[in-house]
Amino acid sequence: MDSIFTRIIKGEIPSYKIAENDCCFAFLDINPLAKGHTLLVPKKEVDYLFDLDNALYTELMLFAKKIAPAIEKTVPCERIGMAVLGLEVPHAHIHLVPIRSIADLDFSKPKLKLCESEFSALAAGIRANLD
Ligand code: 5GP
């Protein structure tokens, strides 16, 4: 059975899409730690990030390097933090989160509740700031 992220990539489940290329897809996390919290996923369904082959792992990291500045331009923050958990969804992914302090990357904190228009505006803003 396809993972929830594969279903998002296929468009079977809606998402607030940021960008995609041949091998990677970016969309807003639906339970964000901060406004602009974005997930980057390889289109190939591999559970564990560190099991990706070197080429795809590198592509995903380069994709992060392209997306992070656009988030940073959109959401006031000091920098973009990057985290890998994978405890909930067994499809490799990277979290990019706008941060100001170490506490902003505490995934045990309550998540933000954003409405559809807030998610849409954030995704549109990040897309507009992509180079
Ligand atoms: P992890 O596997 O890294 O522990 O957490 C998975 C992340 O995926 C969580 O932050 C969760 O909010 C996010 N997530 C889970 N299901 C969905 C979904 O259907 N849509 C979106 N946009 N994010 C999801």
Using one digit for the tens of pLDDT, what is the confidence trace for 14-39?
999 999 999 999 999 999 999 999 99
Place of tokens 């730690």: 33
Using most ligand atoms within 8 A of CB, pick from 27, 31, 50, 107 the residue to mutate for ligand 1: 31
Segment 105-112 shows an average pLDDT of 97
Residue 117: its pLDDT value, please? 98
pTM: 0.98
Using most ligand atoms within 8 A of CB, pick from 28, 29, 113 the residue to mutate for ligand 1: 29
Q: Which CATH architecture has domain 4-128?
A: 2-Layer Sandwich (3.30)
Q: Which of 37, 91, 93, 95 is catalytic?
A: 93
Q: Give me 97's structure tokens.
A: 């989160």
User: Concatenated DSSP letters for 66-114?
Assistant: HHHHHHHHHS--SEEEEE---SS-SS--EEEEEESSGGGG-TTSPPP--
User: 62-81, pLDDT tens digit by residue?
Assistant: 999 999 999 999 999 999 99
